[in-house]
Amino acid sequence: MKSKKIIALASLFLLAGCAKDNAATEVSSSTAASETVASTMSTESSEEVVINYDNEQLADLLTELAVVYPDSRFPSEVPYEAGKNLNVVANVEEQNEALLYYALDEKYDVNADNLHAETPFAAFYKEVLESPEAAQEMVGKQIAAGASEVDLGHGITGYREGGAGSAYLVWEEGNWVISVRASNIDGQDPVVKGQEIVEFLETVALPAPNTDGQINIDLVISDMYATQIRWQAENVVYTVCHQDAISAIKMAVSMNN
Question: CA angle, 28 as apex, 237 and 254 as ends, to 5°?
Answer: 40
The crossing angle, in degrees rounded to 10, of helices 245-254 and 190-201 is 30
Q: Which residue has the higher pLDDT, 25 or 245?
A: 245
Which residue has better confidence, 50 or 128?
Answer: 128
- Flag whether pLDDT at 221 surpasses 80: yes
Are 52 and 220 in contact, with CB atoms under 8 Å apart? Answer: no
Nearest in space to 190 (alpha carbons), one of 213, 170, 164? 170
Is the confidence at residue 119, as pLDDT, over 90?
Answer: yes
Predicted confidence at residue 172, as pLDDT, reads 94
**Band of the pLDDT at 18, cuts 50, 70, 90?**
very low
Residue spans per domain, the chain = 2-17+133-233, 18-128
Instruction: Tell me the C-alpha to C-alpha distance, in Å, between residue 159 and each of 2, 46, 93.
Output: 12, 26, 40
Residue with the bigger pLDDT between 36 and 247: it is: 247
Q: Which of 69-83, 132-146, 217-231 has the highest mean pLDDT?
A: 217-231
What percentage of the chain reaches a pLDDT higher than 90?
60
The C-alpha atoms of residue 23 and residue 99 are separated, in whole angstroms, by 10
Phi, psi for residue 130 in degrees, rounded to 5: -75, -15
pTM: 0.81
127 bridge partner residues: 237
